[in-house]
Amino acid sequence: MSKLHAFTVHYIKRARNHRWRCSEITFWCIDEQLCNQWIQALKELLDSQKSRPKQLLVYINPYGGKRQGKRIYEQKVAPLFNLASISADVVITEHANHAKDNLFEVNIYKYDGIVCVGGDGMFSEVMHGLIGRIQKDSGIDQNNPKTPLAQCSIRIGIIPAGSTDCICYATVGIIDPETSALHIIVGDCQPLDVSSIHHNNTFLKYSVSLLGYGFYGDILKDSEKKRWMGPMRYDFSGFKTFLSHQYYEGTVSFQPAKGTVGSPRDKESCRTGCHICRQTKQLEEQQKNYGFEHKEVEDEWKVIKGKFLAINAVNMSCACPRSPKGLSPAAHLADGSADLILVRKCSRFNFLRYLVRHTNQDDQFDFPFVDVYRVKRFQFTSKHLEDNESDIKDVGKKRFGQFCSDHPACCCNLANSTWNCDGETLDSSAVEVRVRCQLVKLFARGIEIYKDEAAYNSSSNELLS
């Protein structure tokens, strides 16, 4: 164009179902000086947005989900990062824990964010690396369950390429690598609660999505042997675990969340700019100002002994394509509490009715065998362990305990399940769990509310929030 001058603006367009797309528009102009003024003004505007990342550290799990992590990053994400002038150091992991170990070695402080390409397990690995590194650098011992932890200001980005991808779904609203890359580029920030899990003053793991004993623990244990099946392994093991209908005996004790405003039975869900999460943060700030924040309150423990098909503690809704509302639709991403769901022994048919409600609009807590509590701390000990502990003085009974667990036909059910901690197993069945309010931050903004979700199409960009 001999006499025309032009510049192209790349921008984000909202599409259906929380999807974001990159679009472009080219402006033409006959006045070269005016054209340059526009380019300069736009560049300055972009430079003034300090929350946008400039340098990222990216970990790709090439074996997560359908093994598409590397392709997804190269084809869908890297071109967008280039367009946004983001430089990325990329590590393709060679084994489990590669990313976690690496985060203890590199200079993490030169990065504006850490990105993981993979599923919930890969996110968990990166989160453990980052939290662990920050505690190490702050001289904090993770093994002491009472110690307040140092918050992580370096944000984590998730490019979904796993099997469940529930952390991405519950914080963005869709599993779509391009949408997630765009949330990273604009520098979104979503704080996230993290539960720390200890056993006998030993740190076990952190959890952000599901910490599940019984049904979800058994699915995970069985599915790990079938990793070769990809995401299908969960359906196969899910069906098998449902048929086995195993229940577990134990004691759950918990401290109900006092400082939070919402309840697990609320009709409203956590959305972008959630006022419940905001109020919690304000309350915490106030407590900090009064010097209360590190004082543990020892009152009001509720104790429930029983036979459970599932014990699920969720820090967020756990919405995912398999369960679009999640296991606790009104759970909050950053309110400093978890929803503790106790599913007591019931018939196979009733348990199926409960599971079906994970997938439809009906209230999954409206069953006499399901209880839900919003908690800040909880503990669980299986009957098997309780008996073993008291049997140290009673050798005869101990022999009987072993006899029962060795013989499933015996009427005493002393079987143990495993904890499913964000898709990884825990080594101990007895756990002590504390929710750490907003310990980490994601490149996300929670699920946006569309003014008119049904009528939404690519020509309308209006949002409520």
Ligand X SMILES: Nc1ncnc2c1ncn2[C@@H]1O[C@H](COP(=O)(O)OP(=O)(O)OP(=O)(O)O)[C@@H](O)[C@H]1O
Ligand Y SMILES: CCCCCCCCCCCCC/C=C/[C@@H](O)[C@H](CO)NC(=O)CCCCC
**Which positions lie near ligand X, rule CB under 6 A?**
61-65, 93-98, 118-122, 125, 162-165, 423-424
Binding site for ligand Y (CB under 6 A): 119-120, 164, 166, 209-210, 216, 219-220, 234, 238, 318, 320, 322-323, 327, 355-356, 358-359, 420, 422-423
User: Cβ closer to ligand X: 169 or 380?
Assistant: 169
Cα–Cα dist 153/348, whole Å:
46
User: Cβ closer to ligand X: 119 or 157?
Assistant: 119
Indicate which of ligand Y, Ca ion, ligand X, none lies near residue 320 (CB less than 5 to 8 Å, by partner kind): ligand Y
- Shortest distance (Å) from residue 341 CB to ligand Y: 11
Indicate which of Ca ion, ligand X, ligand Y, none lies near residue 193 (CB less than 5 to 8 Å, by partner kind): Ca ion
User: Cβ closer to ligand X: 194 or 342?
Assistant: 194
- Shortest distance (Å) from residue 232 CB to ligand Y: 11
Taking the CA atoms of residue 220, residue 224, residue 225 and residue 231 in that order, the dihedral angle to the nearest 10 degrees is 90
Indicate which of ligand Y, ligand X, Ca ion, none lies near residue 332 (CB less than 5 to 8 Å, by partner kind): Ca ion
Q: What is the H or E stretch that residue 111 is in?
A: none
Told to judge if 120 belongs to the known catalytic residues of this protein, a careful annotator would answer yes
User: Cβ closer to ligand X: 342 or 440?
Assistant: 440
User: Cβ closer to ligand Y: 234 or 450?
Assistant: 234
- Shortest distance (Å) from residue 228 CB to ligand X: 11
- Shortest distance (Å) from residue 115 CB to Ca ion: 23
Angle of helix 348-356 relative to helix 232-244, nearest 10 degrees, comes to 150
Q: For residue 315, state whether it binds Ca ion (rule: CB under 5 A).
A: yes
Dihedral pair phi/psi, residue 77, rounded to 5°: -100, -50
Q: For residue 339, state whether it binds Ca ion (rule: CB under 5 A).
A: no
Q: For residue 193, state whether it binds Ca ion (rule: CB under 5 A).
A: yes
Q: Which amino acid is at 160?
A: P
3-state helix, strand, coil in the chain (%, to 5): 30, 30, 40
Cα–Cα dist 315/328, whole Å:
9
Q: For residue 179, state whether it binds Ca ion (rule: CB under 5 A).
A: no
- Shortest distance (Å) from residue 190 CB to ligand X: 18
User: Cβ closer to Ca ion: 55 or 282?
Assistant: 282
- Shortest distance (Å) from residue 171 CB to ligand X: 13
Query: What are the CA-CA distances from residue 20 to residues 56, 181, 458 (Å)?
Result: 21, 9, 10
Q: Which amino acid is at 108?
A: I
Cα–Cα dist 127/436, whole Å:
14
Indicate which of ligand X, ligand Y, Ca ion, none lies near residue 183 (CB less than 5 to 8 Å, by partner kind): none
Please calculate the CA angle 14-16-20 and round it to the nearest 5 degrees.
35
The residue written with tokens 């401290």 in the block is 255
- Among positions 364-423, residues that touch Ca ion (CB under 5 A) are none
Q: What is the H or E stretch that residue 330 is in?
A: none
How long, in residues, is the chain? 465
User: Cβ closer to Ca ion: 315 or 417?
Assistant: 315
Indicate which of Ca ion, ligand X, ligand Y, none lies near residue 96 (CB less than 5 to 8 Å, by partner kind): ligand X
Indicate which of ligand X, Ca ion, ligand Y, none lies near residue 219 (CB less than 5 to 8 Å, by partner kind): ligand Y
SS3 117: strand
Binding mask 268-307 for Ca ion (x = CB under 5 A): ----------------------------------------
SS3 250: strand
Q: Which amino acid is at 268?
A: E
- Shortest distance (Å) from residue 338 CB to Ca ion: 6
Taking the CA atoms of residue 131, residue 137, residue 139 and residue 143 in that order, the dihedral angle to the nearest 10 degrees is 30
* Catalytic site residue from 47, 89, 101, 120: 120
Cα–Cα dist 279/156, whole Å:
23
Indicate which of Ca ion, ligand X, ligand Y, none lies near residue 216 (CB less than 5 to 8 Å, by partner kind): ligand Y
- Both structure tokens of 229: 């099946």
Indicate which of ligand X, ligand Y, Ca ion, none lies near residue 359 (CB less than 5 to 8 Å, by partner kind): ligand Y
- Both structure tokens of 12: 């984000």
- Shortest distance (Å) from residue 243 CB to Ca ion: 33
User: Cβ closer to Ca ion: 178 or 193?
Assistant: 193
> H helices of 154-228, where?
166-172, 177-185, 215-224
Are 172 and 447 spatial neighbours (Cβ–Cβ below 8 Å)? Answer: yes
Cα–Cα dist 422/196, whole Å:
12
Residues classed as catalytic:
120
Positions in the binding site for Ca ion (CB under 5 A): 193, 315, 332, 335
